[in-house]
Amino acid sequence: MVRLSVPGGIVSESQQRAQRGVYGISVMSELSGVGLQTLRLYERRGLLTPSRTEGGTRRYSESDLATLGRITALIDDGVNLVGIRSILSLEAENSILAARIAHLTDTADGRA
């Protein structure tokens, strides 16, 4: 496994692939069942941040698709968009902290 060090943690090669934008907005809409205008709304509200080509075309990744699934589940649970943004932010922060703890544990155990 290839690991790259980045601010806030280490990113594996598989994580890099999951974050690479490959789907256009229409494909993302088909894969997720979420409408085009809703995807644009989620981007405006800061819930999704697709990468962009040099020409400005949105490119969504596997990671974006997973986030969209989480957004959809939270909406089904009755959470509003402001609440969803807070939840996603806290979940991302928790994930970073968990990765740091794992890294520190590995370092303390002499594995890093």
pLDDT on residue 15? 64
- Which of the four pLDDT bands, split at 50, 70 and 90, describes residue 6? very low
- 0.85 cut: is pTM over it? no
Per DSSP, the residues of 55-68 read T--EEB-HHHHHHH
Residue 1 has pLDDT above 50, yes or no: no
Q: Which of 30, 31, 48 is nearest to 39 (CA)?
A: 48
Q: How far apart are the C-alpha atoms of 20 and 100, rounded to whole Å?
A: 23
The CATH label, of 1.10.1660.10, 3.40.50.150, 3.40.50.620, 3.60.15.10, for the domain at 22-108 is: 1.10.1660.10
Q: Which of 67, 56, 70 is nearest to 24 (CA)?
A: 56
Query: Taking the CB of residue 104, how many other CB atoms lie within 10 A of it?
Result: 11
Q: How far is CA 87 from the centre of its chain?
A: 13
- Which of the four pLDDT bands, split at 50, 70 and 90, describes residue 2? very low
Domains of the chain, residue spans: 22-108
For 32, the token pair is 């997720």
Hey, CA dihedral for 26, 32, 36, 42, is it positive or negative?
Answer: negative
Q: How far apart are the C-alpha atoms of 97 and 8, rounded to whole Å?
A: 9
Question: pLDDT for 87-103, tens place per residue?
Answer: 999 999 999 999 999 99
Question: pLDDT for 23-81, tens place per residue?
Answer: 999 999 999 999 999 999 999 999 999 999 999 999 999 999 999 999 999 999 999 99
> What is the arithmetic mean of pLDDT over 4-31?
72
pLDDT on residue 108? 85
